[in-house]
Structure 1
Amino acid sequence: MGLLDGKNLLVTGVLTEGSIAFHVARLAQEQGARVVLTSFGRQLRITQAMARRLPVEAPVGELDVTSTGDLAALAGRVGEHVDRLDGVVHSVGFAPQSVLGGRFLEAGWEDVATALHVSAYSLQALAVAAAPLMGRGSSVVGLTFDARYAWPVYDWMGVAKAALEATSRYLARDLGPRGVRANLVAAGPVRTTAATHIPGFEEIESGWSARAPLGWDVRDPEPTARAVVALLSDWFPATTGEVVHVDGGFHAVGT
């Protein structure tokens, strides 16, 4: 038996084989789940190509998490492929270059608002949009980067991740009575597409492996993906509002 036998999952953010979301989708399928992916715009074809590289080709639905129309249509679009959802993976984040790379003091509100909308508010928007398909025992899992610290060059994306973590706690509070869990996985630095678009990202990843008690491989997204899959399973039935660190233990010893 697989960890996710019989479960239906919605996974956002699959853009490359190096993305954490791709490995979540792959591992979920290997553990018995049926997976539906989402994408939008010019990225749609990229996600469709990635869907064909999974063990089982996954259907891809259109979803821009900032579009009220797409969010309203989500349950219907997903319902074309599965009759319910047992889990939703939020792997969405974006910030304009103007709010990253040491520009914290210069950033304007419009660009900051974009970062907060896409990277934080979208967790609530996605959960609400998927809610009609989720019943008791379902799980919402998102990805964060430890927001307790002011990291070099991360700037307003760090603020957005702090908002994301708070959003997850409030989702845990409000979805809990429905039997739906909400948790986050705080990954160490992984060289995903999103990470490589952060100017000076190497300042964050530099020395991480040496300081992490278990070491850390910035090229390996699978440990993080495994944690997401575990939180989607029935093995954490009473865990919600949690941030699970998958960073080689770096968070325990700091800098």
Structure 2
Amino acid sequence: MGMLEGKNILVTGVLTEGSIAFHVARLCQEQGATVVLTGVGRSLKITQAMGRRLPVQAAVVELDVTDPDHLAALADRVKEHVPHLDGVVHSIGFAPQSVMGGNFLAGEWDDVATAMHISAYSLKALAVAAEPLMVEGSAIVGLTFDGRFAWPVYDWMGVAKAALEATSRYVARDLGPQGIRCNIVSAGPIKTTAARHIPGFEQMEGHWSERAPLGWNSDDPEPTARTVTALLSDWFPATTGEMIHVDGGVHAMGQ
């Protein structure tokens, strides 16, 4: 039996086979879970195509995390495929290029607000929307790029990630009494589609493998996906409000 045998997991953000979310969905299925994906707008068909490339074809429900009507309908849409949820994966992030790539001081509020809404507030929104289906012992897991630091070129997306991490702690506080855990996985730089749209991403990635005691392969999302999958399981029953680093150890090193 796999560590997720009999569980139902909702995974957001599956857009390419190279994404962390795709590998999370695959590993969840391999560990015995039934997986439901979410897609949005023009990307919905892409997510449906990705669902067919998983070991078991996954159902896809439409969800725009900035749309109150979509959030209100999420539980009913998911219930068409599974009776309840044991886990939710938040793999959602976006910031206009105008607020990244060295444009921190030039960032305008409208664009910053977009980054904060989609990349941080959406964790709370998703948790509230999914909560009616979540059972005691279930888990929410989000993905970040360590928001404690001012990274080159990350700018307002870095601020949004710091807000995401704080949001996770408050979600952990408020849903903990219902037996729902909420944790964040902080991955090292991975060459996902989203990362390639960060202007100057190579400045963040450069020399990472040299600084990591365990080394680091930015082409391999599987170590991060394995950690997310483990946090969705029953093997972390008393861990919540935590940020787990999967970065080869860079976070623990000085210069």
Mapped to 1, the partners of 2:166 and 2:251 lie a distance apart of 18
Q: Which residue of 2 aligns with 1:73?
A: 73
Number of positions where the alignment pairs a residue of Structure 1 with one of Structure 2: 255
Q: Which residue of 1 aligns with 2:123?
A: 123
Mapped to 2, the partners of 1:198 and 1:48 lie a distance apart of 25
> Secondary structure at the residue paired with 1:42?
helix
Q: Which residue of 1 aligns with 2:224?
A: 224
> Secondary structure at the residue paired with 1:234?
coil
Structure 1 vs Structure 2 CA RMSD: 0.5
Q: Which residue of 1 aligns with 2:95?
A: 95
Mapped to 2, the partners of 1:82 and 1:135 lie a distance apart of 13
Mapped to 2, the partners of 1:84 and 1:135 lie a distance apart of 7
Q: Which residue of 2 aligns with 1:187?
A: 187
Matched to 1:233, the amino acid is S
Matched to 2:10, the amino acid is L
C-alpha displacement of 1:248: 0.3
> Secondary structure at the residue paired with 2:72?
helix
C-alpha displacement of 1:135: 1.4
Pair 1:13–1:254, CA change in 2 (3 A): farther
Matched to 1:110, the amino acid is D
Q: Which residue of 1 aligns with 2:23?
A: 23
Q: Which residue of 1 aligns with 2:105?
A: 105
Listed one character per residue, the Cα deviations across residues 145-191 of structure 1 (whole Å, up to 9, x for unaligned) are: 01111000000000000000000000010000000000000000000
C-alpha displacement of 1:16: 0.3
Matched to 1:96, the amino acid is P
Q: Which residue of 2 aligns with 1:36?
A: 36
Mapped to 1, the partners of 2:201 and 2:40 lie a distance apart of 26
Listed one character per residue, the Cα deviations across residues 209-253 of structure 1 (whole Å, up to 9, x for unaligned) are: 000000000000000000000000000000000000000001010
Percent of residue pairs identical: 76
Mapped to 2, the partners of 1:40 and 1:175 lie a distance apart of 26
Mapped to 2, the partners of 1:28 and 1:249 lie a distance apart of 25
> Secondary structure at the residue paired with 2:103?
coil
Mapped to 2, the partners of 1:231 and 1:239 lie a distance apart of 9
Matched to 1:20, the amino acid is I
Provide the TM-score with structure 1 as the length reference: 0.99
- Unaligned runs of 5+ residues in structure 1 are none
Mapped to 2, the partners of 1:191 and 1:72 lie a distance apart of 33
Q: Which residue of 1 aligns with 2:207?
A: 207
Provide the TM-score with structure 2 as the length reference: 0.99
Mapped to 2, the partners of 1:47 and 1:161 lie a distance apart of 24
Matched to 1:9, the amino acid is I
Write out the 4+ residue segments of structure 1 that deviate beyond 6 Å after TM superposition.
Answer: none
Q: Which residue of 2 aligns with 1:57?
A: 57
Matched to 2:120, the amino acid is A
Matched to 2:196, the amino acid is T
Matched to 1:253, the amino acid is M
C-alpha displacement of 1:123: 0.1
> Secondary structure at the residue paired with 2:41?
coil
Listed one character per residue, the Cα deviations across residues 29-58 of structure 1 (whole Å, up to 9, x for unaligned) are: 000000000001110011011111100000
